[in-house]
A and B are shown apart, each in its own frame.
Chain A
Amino acid sequence: MKIRIFLPIFITAISVLSCTKDIDFDLNEEQERIVIDGFITNVKQKHLIKITRTTSFFKTYEEAPAAENANVVLSDGVESYLCIEETPGNYYTRELAFELEKNYTLTIDYKGKTYTASDYMNSINDIDSIETFESEDLIFGDGKMKLLASIAVFVRETEGIGDYYLWKYQVKKPDTAYKDMTPTFTDWIFFPDEFVEGKSPPDGWVFFDRIPTSEIVPGSIVRLQMFGISKGYYDFLVGLRQQVFRGGLFDGPQANISTNFDNGALGYFVAASEDIAFTTKE
């Protein structure tokens, strides 16, 4: 649905009637909190737990201040994995693949306080295949039809509601390195299985991302990562998206995004299954 279109309507209507003025507003700037962005998967690699600190609302920083010298430990209940701070605030595991269908707990000791969070690494079906195709469509803005490149992904969806998907992808044009097409979470594609529940190829479900055709030329390799995430992380992403796209009259009340950390830490610890598929554009 073209929901976005309604927002300009109201912004127009209200702006006809109103004026704005920037004011001094005293914020109860609270004590600094720590922000944890931890992401582990079943793909063999060094997994990153990034820990930063909150900043004043009215100041801008190029980079968030790092939380250094924390003690960071991952555990699956049986085995523990110590994370090493390689650069300020970036804590890595050794190279390993975490096992699916396990509950993982992240424990962080920082300046005398302990923060913990748990997430379950849900296993979902692997990608059957992916392909690219072109389609003509209307992009909101100038009202003109454009030729776009799309990616279709075929996956068998398990019956029963409760799976949540997150997709990111990279494209390698001939003679160049991989370019991350989804560098920030605003580019990520995430959704629940409720609309595709139990469907399978060939008439199964497909995912489209529509980008200019110049981004995928003949010979380009598309690398797609599909993550099976928990409902908690899905809700976190929905909350983030709402925070970033605020400004319409339909916004809900401001509220902090949910977190799975205790003790006032922000961010999310994610344990996700990951599957990677490739296709080459002919």
Chain B
Amino acid sequence: MNIELLPSAARLNMVEVVGEAQNRNVEEVQMSTIDMKMETIKKIPALMGEVDVIRAIQLLPGVQSGGEGSTGFFVRGGGLDQNLILLDEAPIYNASHLFGIFSVFNQDAIKNAELYKGGIPARYGGRLSSVLDVRMKEGNSKKTKVSGGIGLISSRLTIEGPLIKDKISYVISGRRTYGDLFLKLLPDDNPASDAQLFFYDLNGKINWRINDKNRVFISAYTGRDVLGAGDLFNLGWGNQTISARWNHIFNDKLFSNFTGIYSNFNYNLGVPSGPNEFVWTSKILNYSFKNDYTYYLNTNNTVKFGIQSTYHTFKPALIEPGGENESFNKVEYFNRYALENGIYVSNEQKIGGRFTLQYGLRLSSFSNIGQDTVYTYDDEYNNTGFNAYESGDIYNTFANLEPRLAAKFTIDDNSSVKASYNRMTQYLHLATNSTGGAPLDVWMPSSTNTAPGVADQIALGYFRNLSKNMFETSVEVYYKVLQNQIDFADNANILLNKQLEGVIRQGGGESFGAEFYVKKQTGKITGWVSYTLSRATRTVDGINNGNAYLANYHRPHSVSIVAMYALNDKLDLSATWVYNTGTRLTAPTGRFNYGTELVPVYSDRNASKMPDYHRADVGLNWKLSDDDQRWKNSLNFSIYNVYGRKNAFAINFVDNEVNLPTARMTYLFSIIPSITWNFEF
């Protein structure tokens, strides 16, 4: 008997390999944390096609954007300078390109970004409100891959591969914008026609797997913005970082990392030629060494401990005349030096099947080191003289204990409650007026005149996953108290002020809020909805008559909706919608005459607000090749601000053309469509 078998094709369901437990958010003791994978970020519609890590985290609960077109961000009522932004462990002091419109993180070079808003582990220190830990790609250790993209304003190219297969891999990634080329098309009499306006990023990383017990990587980043207009002026700013890490496994219980870090943020501006020629440079430099250990004591206890030491150099302003300019002498404003140390230990302890505790302590210290000249002030901020210190003199030291606590109680497989407390200390202050990413910020160390900032935060959360982890939901509430926040005295002179510390006022701050988050992780439609209800105030002596006032970035209501829809194998659609209560503003309430001048009378600090902010973006990703092809390419279309909402960037009260006072709104973007072609082989 012959039986003929008919061939039949059976289609198996796709097997998804998931790197982490899908109920991680419920299981882990860590709360107030979000891990963003680059693949997710790439699906979100992007402004001018530039996929951006910081724009993506601004869509998360508890994170406020600095305003229209700004990659500055504010976490749970904390300031712009209270976010520790790390790129492969190196601090980035200014993560903005083009006045904050883009961030320094090139999508092709980044693997993932993790944001800690609360319950910050003891291994992190130095900032009050958050840690944004961005990791670069390791490089493909099997085969060489080239990927890149051509967009409206920039192009990208990344090459990665093995130098020695399975042993040494590398990745090198570059991005450059060419927006300035369009300016050349302007008529010659337009001053912008000979303008320079571009930025670039270059990331590189080498990974060397020496053996099973030893791994080394070296990662480096450099990026710069260049702005100029012929002989009139030029301006540039950028970060350079290098980090080198040796990962050593002593035995199956003890792991360690030794890391050396260099970070440099600097800017320069000036007039490149002519009788007014000069150059002004400013920088902040760090050399840092870290040594971290993880010790698996037993199945119930994981101990982490380590030390970190950072040498800071602050060079706020070196101004040199050039060429024929003899109208002033070279000026160097006070350079400052400081040593910041941290030592920590923490333990994550499982108690029974349901309860996990994480407790830790960080001891931080900060020493001001000469050579330095420090002005002294009386109680009314009048200058009373100065103290001069020799090079190498340690003339002032702060030390702070920072307890960190987190607890989780598992209700069942799908739900848990968590609580956390953290105290953070910050020894660096950012002297800035702007809420965006203006590059001319001055970072200044705590000193005998300015005390370090301290933040205490408690948070409670309920985490629940639904439908076999298809939905992740959470509700978190937090309360944060800030001490020694800096602000400027009313009508203070901030630019090139040698006695800047004399116009700084310190005071307290308070913020609290509730964050609601629903995320759909699997299925054809994925994405999330987040809503934050919050309040952030400051109370500083000498400002607003000593009464509490709302912080600039106080936005009581904030909503983000992110949806991604896989239409078929080739087409992905995405859409986002954001809504924020308008930015706070101090508006005039009247005017008075003083002599022949009209002088505005203002309301209390930040007593008014700009119109509410809302915007929708859409995106479409179209794969032009099949998944099994070696040469892959795709087109990405996105439209920023689909319904053309004119969101205020700033509101100024000025006299109009017929000399009548008027409220003038500045806005940056209306509808911006873009197209990017991406490839990979």
A183 interface hit (Cβ, 8 Å): yes
Task: Using A55-B590, A55-B592, A240-B594 as known contacts, say yes or no to A254 and B602 having CB atoms under 8 A apart.
Answer: yes
Name the A residues within 8 Å of B596 (CB-CB).
Answer: 183-184
B382 proximity list for chain A (CB < 8 A): 162, 231
Residues of B near A218 (CB, < 8 A) are: none
Q: Given A17-B668, A52-B592, are A1 and B490 also a contact pair (CB < 8 Å)?
A: no
Inside 8 A of B154's CB, which chain A residues have their CB? Answer: none
Assuming the contacts A13-B235, A17-B99, asked whether A28 and B433 have C-beta atoms less than 8 A apart, the reply is no
Query: Chain A residues with Cβ under 8 A from B666's Cβ?
Result: 14, 18-20
**Chain B residues closer than 8 Å to A97, beta-carbon distance:** none
| B499 and chain A: residue at smallest CB distance | A194
Q: Are A21 and B664 in touch, CB under 8 angstroms?
A: yes
Cβ-defined contact, B229 with A57, below 8 A: no
Is the Cβ of B665 less than 8 Å from the Cβ of A20? yes
- The interface bits of chain A over 53-79 (1 if a CB of B lies within 8 angstroms of the residue's CB, else 0) are 111111111011000000000000000
- Give the interface SS of chain A, mostly helix, strand, loop or mixed: loop
As a 0/1 sequence over residues 19 to 54 of chain A, the CB contacts with chain B under 8 angstroms (1 = contact) are: 111111101111011010100000000000000111
Interface pair A185/B593, CB less than 8 Å apart: no
- The reply on B434 being an interface residue by CB < 8 A is yes
A95 sits at the interface (CB 8 A): no
Check A257/B599 contact, CB under 8 A, given A22-B656, A138-B275, A252-B494.
yes
A12–B434 CA distance with the chains assembled, in angstroms:
17
Interface string of B194-229 (1 = CB under 8 A from A): 010100000000000000000000000000000101
Q: Which of B378-436 contact A (CB under 8 A)?
A: 382-383, 433-434
Please indicate the chain A residues that have their CB under 8 angstroms from the CB of B235 in the complex: 9, 13
Chain B proximity of A108: nearest CB distance (Å): 15
In the bound complex, CA of A12 to CA of B496 (Å): 21
A12 to B599 Cα, complex, angstroms:
26
Nearest Cβ on chain B to A83's Cβ, whole angstroms: 19
Choose the segment among B37-45, B452-460, B644-652 that binds chain A (4+ C-beta atoms closer than 8 Å): B644-652
B518 beta carbon closer than 8 Å to chain A:
no
B597 within 8 A of A: yes
With contacts A13-B227, A184-B596 known, is A239 near B491, CB below 8 A?
Answer: yes
**Closest residue to B487 on the A side, CB-wise?**
A253
Contact partner, A23, options B227, B493, B592, B665, Cβ 8 Å? B665
Among B590, B608, B664, chain A packs the most CB atoms within 10 A around the CB of B590
In the complex, the answer to whether A28 meets B603 with C-beta atoms within 8 Å is yes
Whether A3 sits at the interface, judged by CB under 8 Å, is yes
CB distance from A113 to the nearest CB of B (A): 17
Q: A24–B597 contact, CB under 8 A?
A: no
Q: Are B587 and A252 in contact (CB under 8 A)?
A: no
- Name the contact of A143 in the complex, choosing from B274, B594, B659 (C-beta under 8 A): B274
Residues of A within 8 A of B491 (CB): 235, 238-239, 242-243, 252, 255, 257-258
Q: Looking across the interface, which residue of chain A has its beta carbon closest to that of B328?
A: A1
Distance, CA A28 to CA B588, complexed state (A): 8
Answer whether residue B605 sits at the interface, using C-beta atoms and an 8 A cutoff.
Answer: yes
Residue of B nearest to A12 (CB): B229
Q: How far is the CB of A188 from chain B (nearest CB, A)?
A: 9
Q: Check if B594 sits within 8 Å of A9, measured CB to CB.
A: no
A16 & B195 in contact (Cβ 8 Å cutoff): yes
Bound-state CA distance A25–B608 (Å) is 10
Which chain A positions have C-beta within 8 A of B327? 2, 138
Which of B495, B611, B653 is the most central at the interface, judged by chain A CB atoms within 10 Å of its CB?
B495
Q: Is the CB of A22 within 8 A of B592?
A: no
B383 cross-chain contacts in A, Cβ below 8 A: 161, 194
Q: Indicate which residue in B191, B494, B608, B664 contacts A250 across the interface (CB closer than 8 Å).
A: B494
B577 at the interface (CB under 8 A from A): no
How close is A150's CB to chain B, nearest CB, in angstroms?
16
Number of B residues whose C-beta is below 8 Å from A?
79
**A152 interface residue, CB < 8 Å from B?**
no
Chain B, residues 305-342, CB within 8 Å of chain A (1/0): the string is 00000000000000100000001100100000000000
Contact A250 to B592, CB < 8 A, known contacts A21-B664, A23-B663, A54-B601: no
Judge if B600 is at the interface, Cβ distance under 8 Å. Answer: yes
Interchain CB contact under 8 A, B276 and A5: yes
* CB atoms of B269 and A253 under 8 A apart: no
Which interface residue of B235, B600, B611 has the most chain A CB atoms within 10 A? B600
Q: Determine the chain B residues whose CB is within 8 A of the CB of A177 once the complex forms.
A: none
Query: A8 CA to B271 CA in the complex, in Å?
Result: 12
Contact A183 B595 (CB under 8 A): yes
Q: Mark A239-282, 1 if CB is under 8 A from B, else 0.
A: 11011100101111111111000000011000000000000000
Check: B233 CB closer than 8 A to any chain A CB. yes
A249 contact from B434, B488, B492, B590, Cβ within 8 A: B434
B586 at the interface (CB under 8 A from A): yes
Contact of B438 among A63, A64, A249 (CB under 8 A): A249
Quick one: which of B98, B278, B663 contacts A24, CB cutoff 8 A?
Answer: B663
From A64, A194, A244, contact of B592 by CB (8 A) = A64
Q: Tell me the bound Cα distance from A256 to B592 in angstroms.
A: 11
Residues A167-223 near B (CB distance < 8 A): 183-186, 194
Residues of B within 8 A of A35 (CB): 592-594
Is B269 within 8 A of A9, CB to CB? yes
A5 to B602, CA, bound (A): 28
Chain A residues near B601 (CB-CB < 8 A): 30, 33, 54, 57, 256, 266
User: Smallest CB–CB gap between A198 and chain B, Å?
Assistant: 13
Question: CB-CB < 8 A to B588: which residues of A?
Answer: 27, 57, 254
Q: Does B591 contact A (CB under 8 A)?
A: yes
Chain A contacts of B495 at CB under 8 A? 3, 6, 250
* Mask: chain A, 143-171; 1 = CB below 8 Å from B; 0 = not: 10000000000000000011000000000
Q: Decide: B662 and A253 in contact? CB cutoff 8 A.
A: no
A235 to B: closest C-beta gap in Å: 8
Most buried by A among B599, B605, B660: B599
- B275 x A256 contact (CB < 8 A): no
Smallest CB separation, A30 vs chain B (Å): 4
Query: In the complex, A159 Cα to B231 Cα: how many Å?
Result: 45
For chain B residues 343-360, which have a beta carbon within 8 Å of chain A?
Answer: none
Residues of chain A within 8 A (CB-CB) of B99 are 13-14, 17
Q: Please report the C-alpha to C-alpha distance between residue A239 and residue B488 in the assembled complex, in whole angstroms.
A: 13
Q: Does B254 contact A (CB under 8 A)?
A: no
Residues in A whose Cβ lies below 8 Å from that of B653: 57
Does any Cβ of A come within 8 Å of B661's Cβ? yes
Contact of B590 with A252 in the complex, beta carbons under 8 Å: no
CB pair B668 A250 closer than 8 Å: no
From the candidates B597, B607, B608, name the one contacting A186 in the complex (CB within 8 A). B597
Checking B195, B233, B433 against A252 with a beta-carbon cut-off of 8 angstroms, the contacting residue is B433
Asked if B589 is at the interface (CB within 8 A of a chain A CB), the reply is yes
Is the CB–CB distance between B433 and A250 below 8 Å?
Answer: yes
Q: Known: A54-B591, A184-B596. Contact between A23 and B664, CB under 8 A?
A: yes
Least CB distance from A229 to B in Å reads 15
- The reply to whether the CB of B192 lies closer than 8 angstroms to some CB of chain A is yes
Residues of A within 8 A of B643 (CB): none
> Looking across the interface, which residue of chain B has its beta carbon closest to that of A255?
B490
Q: How far is the CA of A188 from the CA of B434 in the complex (A)?
A: 30
Question: B493, A256: Cβ atoms under 8 Å?
Answer: no
Residues of B within 8 Å of A9, CB to CB, are 232-233, 235, 269
Q: Is B667 an interface residue (CB 8 A)?
A: yes
Give the chain B neighbours of A1 by CB distance below 8 A.
319, 328, 331, 496
Contacts of B275 in A (CB 8 A): 138, 143
User: Which residues of B423-480 have CB atoms within 8 Å of chain A's CB atoms?
Assistant: 433-434, 438, 440
Give the distance in Å from the alpha carbon of A162 to the alpha carbon of B385 in the complex.
12
Q: How far is the CA of A23 from the CA of B490 in the complex (A)?
A: 27
CB < 8 Å neighbour of A238 from B274, B438, B493, B586 = B493
Chain A to chain B contacts (Cβ below 8 Å), 6 pairs: A14-B666, A18-B668, A20-B664, A143-B274, A243-B600, A254-B602
**6 more A-B residue pairs beyond the given contacts A1-B496, A5-B271, A240-B597, with a C-beta to C-beta distance below 8 A:** A3-B495, A18-B667, A19-B670, A35-B594, A243-B599, A254-B588
8 A-B pairs with least C-beta separation: A255-B490, A25-B663, A64-B593, A239-B491, A254-B586, A35-B592, A54-B590, A30-B589
